[in-house]
Amino acid sequence: MRPTPLEPWIAAKTGGTLRRWQLDRLNETLDRARRSPFYRSRLPAGVDSLEDLAALPLTAAADLRAQGTGLVCVPQREIARIVTLPTSGSTGAPKRIYFSEADLERTVDFFHHGLTTLVRPGDQMLIGYPCGTPGGLGALIGTALERIPARSIPHGPVTSYQAAAELLSRTGCQTLVGFPVQLLALAKYCAAQRIPCRVRAVLLSADTVTQAVRSGLRALWGCEVFEHYGMTETGLGGAVDCAAHAGLHLRENDLLAEIVDGGGRPVSDGTEGEIVITTLTRTAMPLIRLRTGDQARILPGVCPCGSPLRRLSPPRRRESGPLSLPEWDEALLPLAGLADFRLTLAGSTVILEAEHPDVLPPLSAQEVEEAVRSLVPGGMELRIAILQTGDRPVLHPGCKRLIRREGGGRPCGGSI
């Protein structure tokens, strides 16, 4: 089995002494971060070992919102891109993440090598993220593909199943990258309409990937399914799985990942906790021990692909409340007539809106109810609405999926 291409890439960057190299970059990062008003008084000038990182204070999402440019470490003229992330509530300042040209180049470099896990020279890749913003996710993937060299098809989020499927078929496109549930719905459309596709591999990112999405795509397109984890705060790129599909190899030359318990204390490998990220090479806005709100484990041992690079178990968002979105995904996404769904908690009522494009096979409220009956908590009532839609994704047209609470929160919060 071919080892992850991140292995030789990171070995070459770090001279084969990863831990020593990480400690040197961490000390450089601490020194740099102390130039920012926010970190100046919070951080020591340096640490003696990587283990000392655990004694440093955590950075919360609320700190990013409250501080704004208080975390920026370079003059304004060196900022190449600012990403504004919507807040999850209806009030409050948005988060802004600042990148220099060098920060963006490191992400392209990671994408270039990470994508060669599934993209071969001469392949085409349909990009299912917004592609119009210079320095944005779609554009950075496009630049990375050129270096392979492979051809990018800058499509953006799906706005018409028919148009996207015809494009796939007409171009003979072998690979796609995009939102998990959108790509599964597109594969259902291709199967329902008998549109021939030659998809060999799919890369899923920007939202939680559940088993129903993986197995659905494998069955419908006969393709290999890869997963990437990253967020704007990690510089978009973060970790990607390999041919062994046994966890996501971390971008360890640019990021230090810790898994912590509820008190912010590191847990041992194999134990689930919150992912906390420290950037090692970011110049514009280094982040020290940032709480991501995502849950995962560090998988112990060497990957079956042969690489000792550390691996994350497939991450999922931390959830509070009586419902687990991944469980509902596993129950509902296998339905051939369902493209997507949305859960809203309204007091003791669970409102389930099931998106049924008329271009997919029929979908009845009865089969939806049977699929999720066991997931409705005792004492709660389930209300089902089948949304008869056309050729276009409606509930989550290009953003993360969340459980809503009636009277609070945005319906979705994209971070790309």
> Which residues of this chain interact with Zn ion, rule CB under 5 A?
4, 242, 244, 303, 305, 307
Cis previous bond, 149, omega within 30: yes
Answer whether 386's CB lies under 8 Å from 398's CB.
Answer: no
Nearer to Zn ion, 137 or 303 (CB): 303
Min CB(225)–Zn ion separation in Å? 15
Answer whether 309's CB lies under 8 Å from 325's CB.
Answer: no
Joined tokens for residue 50 = 């990587």
Answer whether 154's CB lies under 8 Å from 140's CB.
Answer: no
Nearer to Zn ion, 304 or 413 (CB): 304
Nearer to Zn ion, 290 or 303 (CB): 303
Joined tokens for residue 211 = 């088993």
The span from the CA of 123 to the CA of 179, in Å, is 20
Min CB(304)–Zn ion separation in Å? 7
Q: What residue type is 184 in one-letter code? A: L
Min CB(119)–Zn ion separation in Å? 17
Min CB(242)–Zn ion separation in Å? 3
Nearer to Zn ion, 150 or 250 (CB): 250
Nearer to Zn ion, 187 or 201 (CB): 201
Q: What residue type is 14 in one-letter code? A: T
Joined tokens for residue 9 = 């890439």
Beta strands in 272-408 (DSSP E): 273-279, 290-296, 298-299, 311-312, 316-317, 340-346, 349-357, 381-389, 404-405
Min CB(275)–Zn ion separation in Å? 19
Min CB(342)–Zn ion separation in Å? 35
Nearer to Zn ion, 251 or 342 (CB): 251
Beta strands in 91-211 (DSSP E): 95-99, 124-127, 151-154, 175-178, 201-204
Min CB(250)–Zn ion separation in Å? 11
Nearer to Zn ion, 242 or 287 (CB): 242
Answer whether 37's CB lies under 8 Å from 290's CB.
Answer: no
